[in-house]
Structure 1
Amino acid sequence: MSTSLIRRQLCLLLGAAALGTGMAHADQLDTIMAAKKIRVAIDMAVPPYSMKDDKLKLIGSDVETAELLAKDLGLELEFVPTVLSNRVPFLQTGKADIVVSVFAITPERAKVIDFSVPYAPVLVIVAAPKNIKITGPADLAGKKVISTRGTTNDQELTKIAPPGTQITRFDDDATSLTAMVSGQADIWVTTPMLMRTVNEKNPSRQLEVKFTIKANMAAVGMRKGEPRLKEKIDTWVRTNLKNGQLNAIYKKYHQMDLPAEVLNAGS
């Protein structure tokens, strides 16, 4: 067999393989709409974004955001339980279609997944009892500080913690919350609402905000390479920021309106 014939056959085989690969990668939006169901990954214990009420019903601002999204798209909603550290892997392995779970946009995450237009803020604060003096990162040296693994809170703490800071990481916010309520730890890098939850569960603790590390933007997470799904969700977020639906959900659970930064990002 001539060299030129072998080359032609090889080119045909490579072309067929490439075509087969392209056909195998179905458009995710079409797949979701055909299934008439959207699978949303969510950590179920991050109040007030997600939590269970006294009847064990899942509630929270992220829960209602996902419910509204599914309703507006005419889809059945399936919640896929996860923990914050598994949000990216759940997208990459196809265990969920999207993530709606206090998912802050970061440059590191944006390299491996896509984000929608922001729909809510996520403040990263250092909380501790009033009798502990902390005015900035330097005061964390030599102290035990807890955070939740895989969160932007943990990432931001790692960036600013001085040498000697004793960082203890828990796998989910529910465990971190229990540690703070029970007095196992005194300093928590968390969100304002979780800090208030500690105060409600154990009034003797009375945590306060010592300083704010960063204000992040929360968005819907999805796997890369799905431009039609991203456009669909971006349009939905912008529409519901404009009509006030997302603001109403946020205010119901956080007792405040969405900040201008979120509203402007969606305009």
Structure 2
Amino acid sequence: MIKKLKTGLLAMAIAGMAVISPASADLSEVLESGTVKIAIPENFPPFGSLGAEGEYVGYDVDVAKMIAEDLGVELELVPVTSKQRIPFLETDRVDLVISSMGANPSRAKSIWFSSAYAPFFSGAFSASEMEISSLADLAGKKVGVTGGTLEDLELTEKGPEGIEVVRFGDNAATLSAYLSKQVDVLVTGNTVAAQLSSDNPGLDIETKFIIKESPAFIGIKKGQTDLLQWVNVFILHKKLGGQLNELSEKWLGQELPPLPSL
């Protein structure tokens, strides 16, 4: 009887190890495959967009390139929209998501986040003559936002009664709506508004107020402990070495501010 009990306990332990082990093999699998698949923004300059030479460029693209170089593997860029970021990670279509993604408790139910690697804030932008300085002032206004983004979540949760939120499928459509005056106010990231102003020198647009500070984090599939640890060491290394500061100055026009670590 004792012998059978020991055998049963041993079998249970082995079975338990079999269940747990795949989660710790994530980094080794990437290294063995020789390729890392990284989701980057499809159309979200200056973080990621299709450049004049037909290749994707931007802050997130450069971070993805550095990750592949430090891993010693080939890089496969996978352009995604905002709504595709988490599903692509959950279904193993990508290994990492580097797509200007903010971290929040809702998203953390589905995926893991690294320490922050890039600065970002969401704000309300409109013509200089429009007098708005808070969310409450958006009542009665048509507000354009890209659906599924952090800005959309904030407006849905905290927007005042009487606000008319007009959601678009991607950033390009949202910006086009503001340019064509389909909406009164643009709610988006600071870098997006800056790019819009740069591309349209005569455009009357200014920052009205900050809705949320939201640094960008790298998304990693739940259970991939080794890969998460490696990415956090990578981010620390690039902050201390100045590489992330160089990218911030190159793409965002500002020095890298202090960023939170997880």
**Structure 1 and Structure 2 fold alike (TM over 0.5):** yes
Write the distance in 2 (CA, Å) between the matches of 1:198 and 1:189: 12
The one-letter code matched in structure 2 to 1:168 is V
Write the distance in 2 (CA, Å) between the matches of 1:20 and 1:266: 32
1:99-135 C-alpha deviation (Å, 9 max, x unpaired): 0000111121122211111111210100011121111
Partner residue in 2 for 1:220:
218
Aligned partners of 2:248 and 2:254 also within 8 Å: yes
Partner residue in 1 for 2:96:
98
Write the distance in 2 (CA, Å) between the matches of 1:186 and 1:229: 43
Alignment of 1:21-60 (within 5 A): 21-22=19-20, 27-60=25-58
Displacement of 1:139 after TM fit?
1.2
Aligned partners of 2:147 and 2:167 also within 8 Å: yes
**Once the two structures are aligned, what percentage of the paired residues are identical?**
34
1:196-225 C-alpha deviation (Å, 9 max, x unpaired): 222233334321000001111211100111
Displacement of 1:96 after TM fit?
0.7
Partner residue in 1 for 2:170:
172
Displacement of 1:176 after TM fit?
1.1
Write the distance in 2 (CA, Å) between the matches of 1:63 and 1:142: 39
Partner residue in 2 for 1:120:
118
Partner residue in 1 for 2:204:
206
Write the distance in 2 (CA, Å) between the matches of 1:143 and 1:111: 33
RMSD: 2.5
Which structure 1 residue ranges, 5 or more long, are not aligned? none
Aligned partners of 2:103 and 2:217 also within 8 Å: yes
Partner residue in 2 for 1:149:
147
Aligned partners of 1:181 and 1:198 also within 8 Å: no
Aligned length: 259
Which structure 2 residue ranges, 5 or more long, are not aligned? none
Q: Give the 3 Å change call, closer, same or farther, for CA 221–137 of structure 1 in structure 2.
A: same
Q: Give the 3 Å change call, closer, same or farther, for CA 24–253 of structure 1 in structure 2.
A: closer
Q: Give the 3 Å change call, closer, same or farther, for CA 233–23 of structure 1 in structure 2.
A: closer
Displacement of 1:57 after TM fit?
2.2
The one-letter code matched in structure 2 to 1:154 is D
1:161-204 C-alpha deviation (Å, 9 max, x unpaired): 10111101112112212222233223111112211222233334
Q: Give the 3 Å change call, closer, same or farther, for CA 120–99 of structure 1 in structure 2.
A: same
Aligned partners of 1:123 and 1:212 also within 8 Å: yes
Q: Give the 3 Å change call, closer, same or farther, for CA 47–139 of structure 1 in structure 2.
A: same
2:115 is paired with a residue whose SS is coil
Moved over 4 A (4+): 10-26
Displacement of 1:137 after TM fit?
1.1
Partner residue in 2 for 1:80:
78
Q: Give the 3 Å change call, closer, same or farther, for CA 185–201 of structure 1 in structure 2.
A: farther
Partner residue in 1 for 2:105:
107
Aligned partners of 1:86 and 1:150 also within 8 Å: no
TM-score normalized by the length of structure 2: 0.90
Q: Give the 3 Å change call, closer, same or farther, for CA 32–186 of structure 1 in structure 2.
A: same
Write the distance in 2 (CA, Å) between the matches of 1:153 and 1:123: 10
Partner residue in 2 for 1:190:
188
Displacement of 1:18 after TM fit?
5.6
Displacement of 1:43 after TM fit?
1.9
Aligned partners of 1:98 and 1:221 also within 8 Å: yes
Displacement of 1:42 after TM fit?
1.6
- Correspondence 1:63 to 2:90: no
Write the distance in 1 (CA, Å) between the matches of 2:261 and 2:14: 42
2:208 is paired with a residue whose SS is strand
